[in-house]
Amino acid sequence: MSKIRILGTQLANQIAAGEVVDRPFSVVKELVENSLDAGARHIHVEVENGGMKLLKVRDDGTGIPADELVLALGRHSTSKIYDLVDLDAIGTLGFRGEALSSIASVSQLTLISKHSESAWLLQPENCDTTASLRPAAHPQGTTVEVRELFYNTPARRKFLRSEVTEYNNISACIKRLALSRFDVAFTLTNNDRLRLDLSASEKCLDEQERLRAICGPSFLDNAIYLNNQSSNLMIKGWISIPTFSRSQPDLQYLFVNGRYVKDKTIAHAVRQAYQDVLYKGRHPAFVLYLETDLRDVDVNVHPTKHEVRFKDNKVIHRFVHSALDSALAERYPKTDNFSDTRVDLVVGSQPKRDIMSLVDILSSHRFGEQADRNSPRKKCDIVGLKSGSADFFNDQHNKDIVSQDDREPIPPLGFAVAQLRYAYILAENATGLVIVDAHAAHERIVYEELKRTYEQQGLVSQPLLVPQGVVVTETEADLGERHKEEFSKLGFVLDRISSESLLVRELPAILRGCDTEQLVCDILADLIHYDISDRLSEEIHHILSTMACHGSVRVNRKLTLSEMNSLLRQMEQTERINQCNHGRPTWAEFSLEEIDKYFMRGR
């Protein structure tokens, strides 16, 4: 080995630069972050040739005093922290005091700044920062010009991608920064063409405008706004409704105390909140802002500051998960203005039917009669079709809808008028036509009820008149035997009767009437698949989801109008009803205007 030597400043800085600035966009990130830390309200970014030829960031922040300009370019020089205590609660984006020196070591950098009376320009050559400090013309604020990036580190330059790719990265970076500060105006020009012009937002509407410009208009149209607070945590932002999912996690923005970061704990909490409303393999979109006590988060864990470490991951996970979970659980269509009594009037039965009675409804023909007898609105049969008949267009139907409007409010999902292919319920509501996937909707209703009752007291079981033998594999029989207790909490009473068979004595009451053998086999398969032995509680939702699937109305099942209306009312009372357990939509609405437009009918 050669002799140990101290590296020259230039080389040391170039090595350090490798960590901080590896692409043009990371230079932009550092410079814009400096502008934000300096209190800028307007930030202009200019790019030429994908940032390789020129990167220029101009701001109207506090500026740098003339006697500190040279210092600003020195290694480990910062105005943002002074001692270890400051490092414990960092409230600025920068704090290491190495960005400018790193950038200056791998480019031709010019720094112009006006702090008070006059502006000064500094153009260091090979880290000799004293050489060229001279007066300049510049308004209040700072401009940093970076030319010929990586001109003296050919290895780094070799790894750069095409100009277009590098520019796209810069643009994405500016968008992230713009989402972090709605109150700051940003412009971005590429090769003299203005590509982004975001004015500072003063009110909520402007924020939405920026969100629309950055995330696309459909995101905002399909997003839920949330704003939750606990003693020292706050989360707000927009999350996509589950039917607006993406094939890649490419529309996910997380800001912790104003800093864009990637964080595994939060990513997991988000995934869990979406787990039973999102279609398999799809990703949610979100723009989320988490605010914590500065002392509860360490930002000094990654050279590019893209990661943070929380003092208590569990608390963060619980808080984020619960905020998203309840936002996603919001009932839709909103029933706030539609009291339960009105729903009861319609179904003509006990208030807030539980799922047991729904199963009763769906498996008994008596309910239809009952509902008709009890309901002051005997419209279920009068209004629409006699189930399966075809007088949808008759006048009586139209009159009844109108007169019914006068007497009682139409529930959000309206009243059933027909069933299509035994799979879809067609209903008429105040807006127009509602189409419901009966199986998907019922699956969600059963699933939510299963979760609720499981959490409260475990599922109630009901003895089978004749216990049923189920042939399984030896592993499955072992599992059934070993986990008798867990099974009983799920409402199953099982006995092993041979090496490869189980006897089912009791089933969850909520699922009676379904194919017992298939159900038990599927649950055992789930248990094996999820290797449930030690983590039944973690995966219980998968099992309950499997059970819900078995307990739900199957396609090709003819429903009466009363049954259909009951299902619609249940939907209005159910959390997360917009998607089935697999993330597919359960219903869709077509307004009269849309229908008129389609038929080119003016009103």
CB of 57 or CB of 287, closer to ligand ATP: 57
Minimum distance between the CB of residue 37 and Mg ion, rounded to whole angstroms? Answer: 7
Is residue 237 part of the contact set for Mg ion (CB under 5 A)? no
CB of 38 or CB of 347, closer to ligand ATP: 38
Among 24, 50, 51, 94, contact with Mg ion (rule: CB under 5 A): 94
Region from 87-95, 215-223, 306-314, 366-374 binding Mg ion, contact rule CB under 5 A: 87-95
CB of 272 or CB of 300, closer to ligand ATP: 300
For residue 73, give the 3-state DSSP assignment: coil
Is residue 349 part of the contact set for Mg ion (CB under 5 A)? no
CB of 181 or CB of 541, closer to Mg ion: 181
Contact 331, 573 (CB under 8 A): yes
CB of 142 or CB of 180, closer to ligand ATP: 142
For residue 112, give the 3-state DSSP assignment: strand
CB of 115 or CB of 317, closer to ligand ATP: 115
User: Residues near 336 by Cβ (< 8 Å), separated by ≥ 6?
Assistant: none
Taking the C-alpha atoms of residue 195 and residue 175, their distance in angstroms, rounded to an integer, is 11
Minimum distance between the CB of residue 218 and ligand ATP, rounded to whole angstroms? Answer: 36
CB of 33 or CB of 563, closer to ligand ATP: 33
CB of 34 or CB of 461, closer to Mg ion: 34
Minimum distance between the CB of residue 261 and ligand ATP, rounded to whole angstroms? Answer: 14
Choose among Mg ion, ligand ATP, none what residue 80 binds, the Cβ cut-off being 5 to 8 Å by kind.
Answer: ligand ATP
Minimum distance between the CB of residue 97 and Mg ion, rounded to whole angstroms? Answer: 8
CB of 35 or CB of 552, closer to Mg ion: 35
What is the β-pairing status of strands 587-591 and 501-508?
unpaired
| Residue 83 DSSP symbol | S
Taking the CA atoms of residue 279, residue 283, residue 287 and residue 290 in that order, the dihedral angle to the nearest 10 degrees is 90
Region from 16-24, 86-94, 116-124, 356-364 binding Mg ion, contact rule CB under 5 A: 86-94
Contact 142, 113 (CB under 8 A): yes
Taking the C-alpha atoms of residue 523 and residue 541, their distance in angstroms, rounded to an integer, is 12
Phi then psi for 228, rounded to 5 degrees?
-120, 145
Choose among ligand ATP, Mg ion, none what residue 59 binds, the Cβ cut-off being 5 to 8 Å by kind.
Answer: ligand ATP
Residue nearest to ligand ATP (CB): 94
Minimum distance between the CB of residue 234 and ligand ATP, rounded to whole angstroms? Answer: 25
Contact 263, 254 (CB under 8 A): yes
CB of 94 or CB of 237, closer to ligand ATP: 94
CB of 304 or CB of 326, closer to Mg ion: 304
Q: How many residues bind Mg ion (CB under 5 A)?
A: 3
Choose among Mg ion, ligand ATP, none what residue 62 binds, the Cβ cut-off being 5 to 8 Å by kind.
Answer: ligand ATP
Helix (H) or strand (E) holding 140: none
For residue 295, give the 3-state DSSP assignment: helix
Is residue 61 part of the contact set for Mg ion (CB under 5 A)? no
CA-to-CA separations, 406 to 105, 168, 434, in angstroms, rounded: 77, 57, 21
Phi then psi for 467, rounded to 5 degrees?
-55, 145
By the criterion CB under 6 A, which residues form the site for ligand ATP?
Answer: 30, 34-35, 38, 59, 61-64, 72, 77-80, 94-101, 142
Q: Concatenate the DSSP letters of all residues of 474-529 into one string.
A: HHHHHHHHHTHHHHHHTT-EEEEEETTEEEEEEEEGGGTTS-HHHHHHHHHHHHHH
Choose among ligand ATP, Mg ion, none what residue 447 binds, the Cβ cut-off being 5 to 8 Å by kind.
Answer: none
Choose among ligand ATP, Mg ion, none what residue 284 binds, the Cβ cut-off being 5 to 8 Å by kind.
Answer: none
Choose among Mg ion, ligand ATP, none what residue 61 binds, the Cβ cut-off being 5 to 8 Å by kind.
Answer: ligand ATP
Minimum distance between the CB of residue 82 and ligand ATP, rounded to whole angstroms? Answer: 11
Sheet holding 252-256, edge to edge: 223-229, 233-240, 286-292, 252-256, 259-260
Choose among Mg ion, ligand ATP, none what residue 13 binds, the Cβ cut-off being 5 to 8 Å by kind.
Answer: none
- CB neighbourhood size of 375 (10 A): 18
Is residue 92 part of the contact set for Mg ion (CB under 5 A)? no
CB of 129 or CB of 516, closer to Mg ion: 129
Assigned token pair, 81: 């922290």
Taking the C-alpha atoms of residue 462 and residue 507, their distance in angstroms, rounded to an integer, is 5
Is residue 74 part of the contact set for Mg ion (CB under 5 A)? no
Angle between helices 536-550 and 438-457 (to 10 degrees): 140
Helix (H) or strand (E) holding 289: strand 286-292
Residue nearest to Mg ion (CB): 94
Assigned token pair, 438: 């009966």
Minimum distance between the CB of residue 95 and Mg ion, rounded to whole angstroms? Answer: 8
Assigned token pair, 339: 């009291």
Is residue 99 part of the contact set for Mg ion (CB under 5 A)? yes
Choose among Mg ion, ligand ATP, none what residue 299 binds, the Cβ cut-off being 5 to 8 Å by kind.
Answer: none
Taking the C-alpha atoms of residue 156 and residue 24, their distance in angstroms, rounded to an integer, is 11
**DSSP bridge partners of 419:** 425
Minimum distance between the CB of residue 595 and ligand ATP, rounded to whole angstroms? Answer: 56
Q: 6-35: which residues touch Mg ion (CB under 5 A)?
A: 34
Half-sphere exposure of 343 (CA within 13 A, CB side): 22
Minimum distance between the CB of residue 56 and Mg ion, rounded to whole angstroms? Answer: 16
User: Residues near 87 by Cβ (< 8 Å), separated by ≥ 6?
Assistant: 81, 95, 300
Minimum distance between the CB of residue 44 and ligand ATP, rounded to whole angstroms? Answer: 12
Helix (H) or strand (E) holding 64: none
Binding site for Mg ion (CB under 5 A): 34, 94, 99
